[in-house]
Structure 1
């Protein structure tokens, strides 16, 4: 048996080289700030600014949909000018937009500021995907799995911090969260200057602005990836409502669901993701994720018909299976998303992938609340069958993509 020293294992998880550790640190700092703000932002706008919840929702929806427009152009710019440059600029714009939120006093101002933030976030997200490829060298999917571990950990820590502001429930406490998030964007940008200023890939200048949109296998995968992303709001949106309104489970199970989901993703993401790197791995992992959701959704459906402690146990077991599905799905997305994209156009391809995912997330609340909650237990069965059907397409997408890539890229 080969024994691995704990220090070596920690070093691998923390990054294989200096550039990986720098990007992990930058992402961790940024996600701590996101966790501080996201968990309490709605409360700030409704309780402190005094906007109706419907207006807050409308402003954020408009901003989110408008932001989708910047993903592919931002990624194309990252391919031509270098991903670090575009990402630093995007982070600077987000830091300014987040700081401007402290002056928001009405719906129009919130809509404008949130839209600027989302446009920068979409462009920066595409550049970030291209940066992961450059930093992760020949194993970007594995590096992305490591990175996601720290991203999840950062969000958890930030969310814990936001709890103190929510408990205080004062304007000053909420402003500290907003400015803390703004500072995280600025600090993230500064940390990125420790990375090399990666030059564009040689053929990037010849890359067409909309080349990704003409790549049919990748467009199909982006759409399927967005559809599979419906499982994310299941934990944050559906389960709290389901537990409180449709089951006899103790209310503390709502907190247990979040804790178990976060812990599983932090502890298992790298372990599972390290085995999913090639296109073939990604296709199979996408299918496995769908099958895991096909198991977890019926388990959740049963909780409506179970006594109190049985319901609690079923929810805990179901969310563990669901978390495994989330890890397999995200790892498949890394392997296929990076593997199908040509090296000279990673930015715009990651922008298209982000567009598909964000579109799915924008539609998810309306679809899930009307279909799943509207149909009750049967709705969970429909959701599980849908996610399994989407996941089953993974191997076919992988084979289609491999046939249409140059032989060297497909093998990589």
Structure 2
């Protein structure tokens, strides 16, 4: 009986129906591969291939900037040709480009291969957003919360596998990671064949072709979401530097904070995210996230003034609060990002949202290291106020967005 109950709970967590379970499984496999690759890619190109770190950084930056431009047209193509088809095509391209990385011996080749990979990733990401809406049905935000739970778990498992290769530190180990990531793209594409062919939704007659680019409430949300996305590099970049250079906390605290952050997000994403469905819910969740970051950032700053064990305790408590804010923020993003986008143009809208988020992530390292680290404690307090101000705009933005959406009667007339 206990075993049956546990199996049932796991089954419900993994999806309410066959298509949900297929997409969760495909995404999980892909993210395990991503975790394998991301943790060791830079070391492979610098230590094994022998490229200078500056060249590797330049190649990846060029690829990332060019890739940003592919999300919106890729999403539009998904809306008109089918999200599953475009996502599968992008995954196949990524599988091939990832496998080609083992042949890279020069900066120019790395730049070309990485650019192809990033273009496919941006287009595939927008198509994936549209596919989530079709698979998730009436509750896409709830499904996306479940999906993100397994995505986070996949990255954690992949990163653990990468640790074994890093310990071995041989060319064969690094090549295995790269080819493992390539295989994950191919397997993900194959699993998507199990999904039904969702029909393309025709736009209303008066709908603009590039409506996402003229939708002011959605563009405003995209800007807020991209800015709030600075909270991710706070954990991955800013806090580790702060711990090592400005606190007496033990160095193992850096590893502990990643473990706490990942584990907490895995455990709480579905529990919290499943309750945040509508844009109105999303606006309130965005505000809650800002308030949680308002608490966590000063706690991180105070660690610089505490003795060893108190500093470690403050950092871990801060990352707990910050992780809670991350779950609320991501759940708000799903509710608003899906809820404000029309069903027939989800891919295009997700492409716009992805562009805004990626632009924020590209600017984040320079902003956080120069402003926050440069100003020290003052910088942390300013960052906390910045996050709180962004969050405070969430409810009013949600109301604005809902006022400017087509009313049900109007939408029915347009599609009739």
Normalised TM-score (structure 2):
0.96
The alpha carbon displacement at 1:6 in A equals 4.0
The alpha carbon displacement at 1:62 in A equals 1.0
Whether the aligned pair in 2 keeps the contact of 1:204 and 1:345 (CA below 8 Å) is no
Partner of 1:52: 52
Q: Which runs of 5+ in 1 are unaligned?
A: none
Partner of 1:323: 323
Whether the aligned pair in 2 keeps the contact of 1:217 and 1:397 (CA below 8 Å) is yes
Whether the aligned pair in 2 keeps the contact of 1:79 and 1:348 (CA below 8 Å) is yes
Partner of 2:262: 262
How many Å separate the matches in 1 of 2:364 and 2:67?
17
1:27-176 matched pairs, under 5 angstroms: 27-176=27-176
Q: Which runs of 5+ in 2 are unaligned?
A: 412-416
CA separation of 1:371 and 1:410: change in aligned 2, threshold 3 A: farther
Partner of 1:19: 19
Whether the aligned pair in 2 keeps the contact of 1:79 and 1:346 (CA below 8 Å) is yes
Partner of 2:414: none
CA separation of 1:16 and 1:358: change in aligned 2, threshold 3 A: same
Whether 1:277 and 2:285 are equivalent positions in the alignment is no
Deviates more, 1:169-178 or 1:200-209: 200-209
1:288-299 matched pairs, under 5 angstroms: 288-299=288-299
Deviates more, 1:76-85 or 1:198-207: 198-207
How many Å separate the matches in 2 of 1:86 and 1:28?
19
How many Å separate the matches in 2 of 1:391 and 1:380?
17
Partner of 1:198: 198
The alpha carbon displacement at 1:202 in A equals 2.7
Structural RMSD (CA): 1.6
How many Å separate the matches in 2 of 1:374 and 1:162?
33
The alpha carbon displacement at 1:5 in A equals 4.8
CA separation of 1:369 and 1:12: change in aligned 2, threshold 3 A: same
Partner of 1:388: 388
Partner of 2:221: 221
The alpha carbon displacement at 1:7 in A equals 4.1
SS of the residue aligned with 1:196?
A: coil
Give per-residue Cα distances to partners, 1:87-125, cap 9 Å, x unaligned: 000001101110110111111111111111000000000
How many Å separate the matches in 1 of 2:359 and 2:171?
33
How many Å separate the matches in 1 of 2:41 and 2:206?
42
How many Å separate the matches in 2 of 1:301 and 1:329?
21
Normalised TM-score (structure 1):
0.97
Deviates more, 1:191-200 or 1:206-215: 206-215
SS of the residue aligned with 2:70?
A: helix
Whether the aligned pair in 2 keeps the contact of 1:402 and 1:410 (CA below 8 Å) is no
The alpha carbon displacement at 1:8 in A equals 3.9
How many Å separate the matches in 1 of 2:322 and 2:305?
20
The alpha carbon displacement at 1:204 in A equals 7.7
Give per-residue Cα distances to partners, 1:236-277, cap 9 Å, x unaligned: 111111111110001110010000000000000000001111
Whether 1:372 and 2:385 are equivalent positions in the alignment is no
The alpha carbon displacement at 1:10 in A equals 2.3
How many Å separate the matches in 1 of 2:204 and 2:161?
42
Give per-residue Cα distances to partners, 1:53-72, cap 9 Å, x unaligned: 11111111111111010011
Whether the aligned pair in 2 keeps the contact of 1:207 and 1:344 (CA below 8 Å) is no
How many Å separate the matches in 1 of 2:409 and 2:363?
33
How many Å separate the matches in 1 of 2:351 and 2:47?
35
How many Å separate the matches in 2 of 1:26 and 1:77?
21
SS of the residue aligned with 2:250?
A: coil
How many Å separate the matches in 2 of 1:239 and 1:378?
15
CA separation of 1:243 and 1:210: change in aligned 2, threshold 3 A: same
Partner of 1:351: 351
How many Å separate the matches in 2 of 1:281 and 1:83?
27
CA separation of 1:410 and 1:105: change in aligned 2, threshold 3 A: farther
SS of the residue aligned with 1:381?
A: helix
Partner of 2:231: 231
Give per-residue Cα distances to partners, 1:354-380, cap 9 Å, x unaligned: 000000001111111111111111111
The alpha carbon displacement at 1:326 in A equals 0.3
How many Å separate the matches in 2 of 1:162 and 1:79?
36
Deviates more, 1:149-158 or 1:11-20: 11-20
